[in-house]
Amino acid sequence: MRFILPLLALGTAACGGDDKVAANEAMPSLTTMTEQPGDWSALAGMVGRRPAESGLVDNNSPISVDLNARLGRDAAAFRNAMMPAGPLERQGDLMIARAPDAWLVIQPGEHAFRAALRKGSGWQEWQTPGASVPAI
C-alpha cells in the first residue's frame, strides 16, 4: 500500500493540466494517426450537412485526432475557416467540403484526407502521410 500512493501522485502529476494538444499548441506524434486509426464510419451520416451543423471539424469529430496531428498549430484556424463551408458532398469514394478559405477532401476507405487553408495569397496544404488524396 505504501508504494501505491507515490505512484498515484506521480501519475496525476504527469497528466495535470497540460492541455497543449487540445489547445492546438503542440502537434501530437504522427503515429497518433497511423497506429490506431479512429472509426470514420460516422462520417457517412455527415454527408449533406454543413460542418457547422454536423460537427465534421469539431474537436470530437471522428477525424479530429488526424486533423490535429497533421495541422498542428493551424488546426484551430482551419476549423474556423471551415465553419461557413457548404454541405459535405459524396463524390465516388471521396467526401468533400468547401469553404471560401479552406477545403477538406476525405477518403474514408483509405483512412486518408487532404486539407487546405488559405494563407495570404496562397494555400497551405496537408495530407495523410503516404496517401494520394486528390486536391480540389
Phi, psi torsion values for 109, nearest 5 degrees: -65, -30
pLDDT digits (tens, 9 = 90+) for 87-113: 999 999 999 999 999 999 999 999 999
CA proximity to 134, closest of 101, 92, 99: 92
- How high is the pLDDT of residue 60? 87
pLDDT in tens, 72-93: 999 999 999 999 999 999 999 9
- The reported pLDDT for the residue numbered 15 is 47
Q: Residue 8 has what pLDDT?
A: 43
pLDDT level of residue 126 (50, 70, 90 thresholds)? very high
pLDDT single digits (tens) 15-65: 444 444 444 444 444 444 444 456 788 899 999 999 999 999 998 899 999
In 1-136, alpha helices (H)? 4-14, 31-34, 51-54, 64-71, 75-82
pLDDT at residue 37, rounded to an integer: 56
- Provide the pLDDT for residue 133: 94
Q: Supply the pLDDT for residue 59.
A: 86
Say if CB 43 and CB 95 are below 8 A apart. Answer: yes
